[in-house]
Structure formats: structure tokens, C-alpha cells
Amino acid sequence: MSGDLAATDSQQSTSPVLEKAPERKDLFPHGWRLVFTAIGIYMSLYLVNLEVTIVSTSLITITSDLNGFDKTSWIITGFLSTYTGFMSIWTKISNIIGRKKTLIAANVMFLAFSLGCGLSKSINTLIICRSFQGIGGAGVYPLVILCAYEIAPKPQLPIYGAFTGLSIACAAFTGPIFGGVLAQHHEWQWVFYINLIPGAIAVLMLVIAMPKEYGTVPSKPITHLKPNLPLFRHLDIVGAVWLLAGVLLLITVLNEANIQFDWSSGTAIGLLVLSAVSWIIFFAWEWWIDGYPDYEPIFPVRFLFNRAWMGMLITTFVSGCPWNVVVVYLAQRFQVLEKMSPLSAGIHLIPYTALATVSTTIASIACLRGRIPFVYIILFASILHTVGIALLSTLPESGPFPDAGYGYEVLAGSGVGVTIGILVLAVPYVVETRDLATASGAINQCRFLGGAIGLAIASNIQTGDLKTQLSSTMSQDQLHLLLQNTGVLETLPAQLKAQVLHVFAQGYTKQFQAMIAFAAVQIPSCLLMLRRGSQYVAKDDDAEIPTQDKTVDL
């Protein structure tokens, strides 16, 4: 390969010129090692992504059991917040001690706190364990993506890119169904225990088969992580802290406004101000340290001058918002309004999740075989996604779920599935080789940050509507119990129950209406990938991948 994917010490080269060198075939696993390594990394990727969707159809059961319906969003956003904040740390650690040790460590942490989630006896304990589970997942996800980029020679990358997208999409497809089955039998703890056996098998495969010297990053003893100033600079701890602060403060105000405090309160305003200040300091810090060779920023300034890359980051962020909202709140709508069981709700999500799975695979193959530029496929998918979300916002607020609604799911699922798959595939073709480790973390950070913010906004809409529209017709005790446990609905008088259900229905409509704006932003943002005369494309040859040069003339 051409140089290192990222520096393995604090003396990383900052030269923008990358020398091309023949790709060393001996760097890649072969035979049974290749098979076992691939199974191990893709099983890890599947399980981490499963944790986002498997809880969607079991949330009502979980929150009813633990009396925390008003904290529904936190069960997912707590996971996604730490998931977002720690990705860059894990990828940088892998640049120091090697991919294998780091990926195994992240897997072990993810599995340990999966066990903790299943053993939780209160909603707050569950949220805390979910947050630590997210830290482990934050390592597994980008490291698997990075290992997939390094598992085989360049011409084979689109094939493994298809496996990557397929793993993500399959998790989205099977998660709601598995969660529904477990919740229906009141065994929600197995939503988290389900990770343990396949996760342990994946770790064992990686221990046995994954080469010690994987990719272009040499394996080093764990003693290289001994705290010192060079390590502090290499990991960019300051940047990571300000990034996490900005994320958590913003998620907190979006989740808790209208529940613990009003939007006009000093608490809400203070949290918003502190979040804004944290984001400003984060970008200012990244800009300042970028000029010092001893520092390795988690968001290099040169990213801002790569127009195509910025377009990809924005597109993945805004596509993540409606993606998670549909999986979580459409499943909730099926259970609250249509009186479906958790399993039935998961089955009725299949048009959305299954089409996301299929379209991801088809799009990845089309990129390779048809040499179709990324931007054209993402543009088409963005339009499809936006139309699907807009149509979902027109679902009737009374009566049975219409047959057309499943068609709307197909449109939205197809669009977001293609977008996710192609954006993951396109990373090594758009960024420089030296930025591949950082970029693989950034693209996923943006998607999960978008997902966390989308869910927080949707949760705030729902809770705000319930509190403002029902405060005059329900006692404070009744409203409090409703916000703790939706099972209270069955104890209400028929007329009051109908009114509450109408408020829920209005809330679901408003949630999807809010997501139209996010989906629509994908259209102009993906156009930033357009180039004059040539476009980024997955080429079936052995050319080098930092694709400032890897284009196809049209």
C-alpha cells in the first residue's frame, strides 16, 4: 500500500503528497484465516448494529417493566452518544498497538456491558450500562470498517464493502423482529444477552485467525498506551472531551426539555449555550493543533477543504436522523395505535428494514460492476428517502394502518439503505490514505450523531405534546403514570383513552414531518461530491485508493 493508513506514532507525516507503491499481497490474510477473520469482523459489526434496532420493538416492554417511558429515548441516545464520542479514540489506539488487540478489546467491553444491561433492575442503571456498552460499540464499528478496507487488495474492496453494508442492513432487518419476539415473551433482558454467545465466538475467531500484523499498522505491546504527553497528543484527548461534551449537552437538552424543565427555563438555555460553546471550542482546538506535527487531530482541517468529503459527512448525518426515528417510532406506533404485539410490530417494519438490506447490496454491486459514480446513486437514493419520509408523515391519525403505508416504508427504506451502503463504500475512494483511519471513524460518528439527535427531537415532540395537550384533561398523577408506563392506557375511561391515543397519533405525524427536513438536506449535500468532468467511482483495477486521482471520465 501507499504509506501507512495512519501514523503509528506521534511523528505522522503531514505531507499531502502520497507516493504510490506496489500493494504488498503478504499483508492480507489468506485461506482459512481470511474466512475466519471476515466472519469474526462482520459478526462483530452485525451485533453492534443490532443493538440500535433490536430495542425498537421492545422499548415499550422495557420501559413498562422499569417504569421509565419518559426516558425511552435515553435507552438509545445514551448508547449513541458515547458511540459517537469515542470512535476516534479507538481508531487512534489501533494505530498504536495494532488493529487486532484494539478490536478484541472493544468487543470484550461491548459484551461485558451487554451483560450489565440485561442484569439492570432500574431504568437509570440500564441507561448507564447502555452508555458504557456504546463505548465498546464505538470501537467495534469503525475498526471493523477499517479492517474491511485492509482485508484484501484494492480490486476486491467493493466486494467487502457490500458485505459491510449487508451486515449493517441485516442488523436493521432482523433487530426489530428479534426484539419483538423477546419482548412478546417478556424476556427483554435477552435483547442484550443475545450478544453474548455469538460475540464470544466472533472474539475467538479473531484471536485465532486474525493476523497479528494486520493491514499496514504494526502490532505493538499494550505498554505503548502508558499515559504520557506524546500519547495524549496522539489520541487528541482534549478534542475528544470537547466533542463528547458538545454531543451530551445537546442530547440532554433535547431529551429533557418538556420533561424535567421547560424550553424557556434557565436550565435549557444554559445547556444549549454550553453545548454551542463546546462545539466552538472543539473546532477551534482542532484548527489550532492541526499546524503542530506532534498532534493528530480527530478532525483535521484539511477535511474542510475536501468538498466531496464534507458532502459525505453532511449527507450521512442528516440521513441518520430519520433512519432511527422510523425504526423506533413507527414500531411504537404499531404497538400503541394499532394494538400490535411487539413481534407483529417488528414484522410490519420488514418493508422498511428488508428493503434497506436489499438496496444496500444491490447498490454496492452496481458501483463495482456498472462503474456508476457514487454521487449519482446517492442523489437518487436521497430523493427516494425524502419522498418516503414525506409520505410516512401523511399516514392517517385514526383507523387501521393503510396498505399504502407499507409502500411508503419501501421507498424510505430503499433510499436510506442505498445511502448508508454507498457512503461506507466510498470513504477510501474520497479521502487520502493517511486519513483513512480518522475518516472511517468520522463517517460513522456523523451518522450515529444524526441518529441520536433525530431520536431526541422525536422524543421531545412526543413528550411535549402529551404534557401540553393532556394537562387539562388528566390529573398530574395520571399524566405522570402515563409518562412512566404506557400500560396505563388500558386503565383509562374510553373517552379519555381515545383522546390520549389521538395525541399520540398527532405526535407521530409531527415526528415524521420534522424528519422530512433532515432527509431533504441530503439532496444538496450529496451534490458536493460532484466534480467537473469526472466523478468518484469504485474502479475494478489495482490503482491506488487516495482518489484525488481515482475518478472516471464521463
pLDDT in tens, 358-374: 787 777 777 767 678 88
- What integer pLDDT is reported at residue 154 of this predicted model? 64
The predicted pLDDT at position 23 comes to 47
Give residue 313's pLDDT: 93
Residues with Cβ within 8 Å of 273's Cβ and at least 6 positions away in sequence, in order, are none
* Mean pLDDT across 189-209: 92
3-state secondary structure at position 227: coil
Mean pLDDT, to the nearest integer, of 119-123? Answer: 90
pLDDT band at 218 (very low <50, low <70, confident <90, very high): low
pLDDT in tens, 241-275: 898 898 888 888 887 777 777 788 888 899 999 99
Closest CA to 382 of 454, 322, 310: 322
Residue 385 has pLDDT above 50, yes or no: yes
pLDDT recorded at residue 431: 82
Please, which residues have CB within 8 angstroms of residue 172's CB and are 6 or more apart in sequence? 49, 52, 53, 327, 353, 356, 357
In this model, does residue 1 exceed pLDDT 70? no
Confidence grade of residue 163 (pLDDT, cut at 50, 70, 90): confident
CB environment 1-16: b (16+ within 10 A), e (fewer): bbbbbbbbebebeeee
DSSP assignment letter at 129: H
Task: List the one residue out of 544, 137, 176 whose CA is nearest residue 346.
Answer: 176
Provide the 8-state DSSP code for 404. Answer: H
Which of 35-39, 110-114, 334-338, 442-446 is the most confident on average?
Answer: 110-114
pLDDT at 108 over 90: yes
Res. 2: pLDDT tops 60: no
Q: Are 88 and 510 in contact (CB under 8 A)?
A: no
- Cβ count near 264 (within 10 Å): 8
Give the pLDDT score at 14.
35
By the 10 Å C-beta count (0-12 exposed, 13-18 middle, 19+ buried), 115 is classed as middle
Looking at per-residue confidence, does 402 or 212 come out higher? 402
Q: Which residues pair with 257 in a beta bridge?
A: 261
Q: Are 361 and 165 in contact (CB under 8 A)?
A: yes
Model pLDDT, residue 10: 36
Tallying the residues shown for the chain, one arrives at 554
Residue 322 has pLDDT above 60, yes or no: yes
Task: Please check whether residue 191 is in contact with residue 185, taking contact to mean a CB–CB distance below 8 angstroms.
Answer: no
Output the nine-digit C-alpha cell for 244.
463528547
Domains, the chain: 25-211+224-553 (1.20.1250.20)
Query: Do the beta carbons of residue 431 and residue 372 sit within 8 Å?
Result: no
62 pLDDT above the threshold of 50: yes
Please give the Cα distance from 296 to 217 (Å, whole number).
16
DSSP 121: -
Q: Tens digits of per-residue pLDDT, 276-307?
A: 999 999 999 988 888 777 777 888 888 888 88
pLDDT of 464: 84
